[in-house]
Structure 1
Amino acid sequence: MKILKLLCLTVCLIGNLAFAETLLVQKQKFTTKDFRTFNGSVIDTVNIGWEAYGELNEDKSNAILITHYFTGNSHAAGKYNESDPLPGYWDAIIGPGKAIDTNKYYVISSDTLVNASVYDPNVITTGPATINPRTGKHYGLSFPVVTIRDFVNVQKALIDSLGITKLHAVVGPSMGSMQAIDWAVAYPDMVERMVSVIGTAQVDAWLVAGLEKWAYPIKQDPNWKLGNYYDGEKPIQGLTQSLALITQEAMHPIIFNASNPNHNPLSEGPLNDIYTSYPVVDWLYNAAKARTEVIDANHILYLVRANQTFIAGYNNDLAAAMNQIKAKTLFLPATNDLLLYPQMAQQAHELIGEGSQYEEIDGMWGHLDGIFSIQSKAEALTTFLEQ
């Protein structure tokens, strides 16, 4: 979407005005064998991509893990090449002298299991689109259901491989906030600080039903074929509808309407022809269709399910899970978020109680304020990380 790219470019430029240096990063690959999932399945080989910014200090005490959002990936900051048009999604706050200062911290970010953008050459992930070494065919729906805890445990294996025993902080937006919170619950002695941006500690019934709307169009596409489409036509129509829903629901009506200032309810075409779309509909769906080049439909289904099954601690007792957290915590929901509304973060913050901090991100982007307006909380992040 042009408006998203333009704003991201603007935010990144503003965030970099004081920093002439371009942070160049390299994608790396991590492999772990015989990975056991939360539901007891075993994946023979898991590959994920990761990247890092800054330098690990001698006692390996300065590592910060960034966990990404639903359709995101490990590219949180910097560029792979000087010629890249845009840096990573949180470049405004990650880098030399920025809120998450790479002169002080070794910042790690990894792709998740079942990453949405499996066809992006800069993404490394294992999921339904991966070839099953036992059969020589794509896993498809034979791939086990995975959870946010599984994302966390793959990251834990990566962190262990680097010889890091303490994380200065785990920080993530949206689905990344779920990972950050579950890190603090699953490994309380390892996580010293946790920052949840536009997040929640538990997916409620309302959100489970809402997430299913993202999965439903894919399942209704005739080309989906119960996930067995890898040797034929892909379910592009269903995937396009899914991505359009995801995009619209992540945006607040204020910015959505501002992105389409010339909308006319009485446009001649739609007024006289039921087959004619409004320009705003074409704008939304054309942008969504363009994203289907790198995103896999089955991977979206698995990400939906991973989010639907989320409750921090995975024991159906959120209060007990929050009581396990030893880390200092900071919750940064977005005031105008209509997807993961502020009350969700407020609930976790209140359950943790003393020592937890809470601030809201003001902006007009809704859920996307956690990406595009994050720099407004740069000072709060810096202060929190130095406590």
Structure 2
Amino acid sequence: MTTRDAVSLGAFTFECGESIPELEVAYESYGEFDGENAVLACHALTGSAHVARRPDAGDETAGQARAWWGDVVGPGKAIDTTEYYVVCANVPGSCYGTTGPASENPETGEPYGTDFPPVTVGDWTRAQRKLLDELGVGRLHAVVGGSVGAMNVLDWLRRYPDDVERAASVAGAARLDAQCLGLDAIARRAITSDPDWNGGHYYGGPEPEAGLARARQIGHLMYLSKASMDRKFGRRSAGRDATREDPPDPAAAFFPYREVESYLDYQAESFTDRFDANSYLYLTRAMDDFDLSAGYESDADALAAFDGELLCLSFTGDWHFTVAQSDALADACREAGVSVAHHVVDSDHGHDAFLVEPEKVGPPLSALLAEGLAGRAITDVRDPDDEFAPVHTSLFSD
């Protein structure tokens, strides 16, 4: 059983203190709820509620062309929707069905634009809690998420510690480092310096596609590793049939149009067709702002009330959310007395590994949901004496 719907949560006050008269949250659910089997999946920065493939709707939902975790969530998959009731909600500030800058302000009849209130990860968590209340879900069997979705998971543990039994932070961190903050700032500047941005009130006119395209290209470089880029592109020319996105400067004709440039141009073009520039501004700021220890003495103090189990997954080639950051998170859990395990995956795919290597992500998640941390589907590739015992080896066979 699958559901795609939107629920009005009525008036909503954001953590910044500003309110809107109605917050509508788009969500998808999969499986049957038995009172104890609910799993909340938290999407990454530009993801949607479309976490798993829907047999009744093909593989296109809410403008996102494919299910972002379709090889991890579904019948017979790691997060098995024949066993678990899986809910994924699009976050406030996005443009995939939940109220955001592109939504109509009922008080003016025009899109909010940058009059929309500033959004935080905490606002996402509070909206999800209200949605689950509407769906009749109290305590969660698990909450899982990747990238900024993992930050969303951590916010659940500090904000609603009694509502979660098990959790998984996949390619996550307690906060961004300065390098990532700087790159996000440049990406936002690319949007706001586009002459078509118009202070965020561009709806009905030319949109800041060039600025959003540059922002997306910066993001893609953050998600890939040096090794994966060398393997995919090297220094190869894109070939005589490839054309540049924009007319080149006079000198450009002398130099090759490389495969890596062609790839980034393609990603930028496809992204501007489906995403809103203001939403990109809002969501990256929410990610940048998140700090697990905000309002607490430390990360350990923020997690101290959580009495469930946390699985941290990190990837050796990820320089965006690093192994060291997951190590630090696990250490904070141990200091707080929280049951934790850190599963380190050997991968050269970069940050995107949590999306493109389901065969490595799925087994530890499956074991966590089924058995908790006692499932032993955890390992540290840096320790030669720690062997990974996969579970459900046929998880990803069709």
The TM-score bracket by the shorter chain reads: 0.7 to 0.9
- Check conservation: 2:175, 2:288, Cα contact below 8 A: no
Q: Aligned-pair distance for 1:261?
A: 4.9
Partner in structure 1 of residue 284 of structure 2: 304
Within the candidate set 74, 86, 96, 1:107 is matched to 86
Identify the structure with bigger relative contact order (alpha carbons < 8 Å, sequence gap 6+). 1
Give the Cα separation in 2 of the matches to 1:64 and 1:79.
Answer: 17
Q: Aligned-pair distance for 1:263?
A: 1.0
TM-score (norm 1): 0.86
Q: Does 1:293 align with 2:268?
A: no
CA deviations over 1:21-57 (Å, ceiling 9, x no partner): xxx7442111111111111111211112111111101
Determine helix, strand or coil for the equivalent of 2:9. strand
Within the candidate set 39, 43, 47, 1:64 is matched to 39
Partner in structure 1 of residue 232 of structure 2: 259
Partner in structure 2 of residue 350 of structure 1: 331
Determine helix, strand or coil for the equivalent of 1:325. coil
Partner in structure 1 of residue 165 of structure 2: 192
Partner in structure 2 of residue 179 of structure 1: 152
Give the Cα separation in 2 of the matches to 1:295 and 1:76.
Answer: 17
Give the Cα separation in 2 of the matches to 1:84 and 1:356.
Answer: 35
Deviates more, 1:93-102 or 1:254-263: 254-263
Q: Does 1:340 align with 2:299?
A: no
Q: Aligned-pair distance for 1:319?
A: 2.9
Give the Cα separation in 1 of the matches to 2:213 and 2:107.
Answer: 32
- CA 103–235 in structure 1, closer or farther in 2 if over 3 Å, else same: same
- Check conservation: 1:27, 1:50, Cα contact below 8 A: yes
- Check conservation: 1:186, 1:313, Cα contact below 8 A: no
Identity across aligned pairs (percent)?
A: 31
Q: Does 1:203 align with 2:176?
A: yes
Q: Aligned-pair distance for 1:126?
A: 1.0
Q: Aligned-pair distance for 1:173?
A: 0.4
Within the candidate set 292, 295, 305, 1:324 is matched to 305
Give the Cα separation in 2 of the matches to 1:322 and 1:47.
Answer: 30
Q: Does 1:315 align with 2:295?
A: yes
The one-letter code of the counterpart of 2:310 is T
Q: Aligned-pair distance for 1:290?
A: 2.0
Give the Cα separation in 1 of the matches to 2:90 and 2:311.
Answer: 23
- CA 214–324 in structure 1, closer or farther in 2 if over 3 Å, else same: farther
Partner in structure 2 of residue 361 of structure 1: 345
Partner in structure 1 of residue 8 of structure 2: 31
Partner in structure 2 of residue 376 of structure 1: 360
Aligned length: 355
Determine helix, strand or coil for the equivalent of 1:274. helix
The one-letter code of the counterpart of 2:342 is Y
Q: Aligned-pair distance for 1:375?
A: 2.3
Partner in structure 2 of residue 91 of structure 1: 70
Determine helix, strand or coil for the equivalent of 1:45. coil
Q: Once superposed, what is the RMSD of the aligned Cα atoms?
A: 2.4
TM-score (norm 2): 0.83
- Check conservation: 1:33, 1:46, Cα contact below 8 A: yes
- CA 25–165 in structure 1, closer or farther in 2 if over 3 Å, else same: closer
Unaligned runs of 5+ in 2: 373-398
Q: Aligned-pair distance for 1:357?
A: 0.5
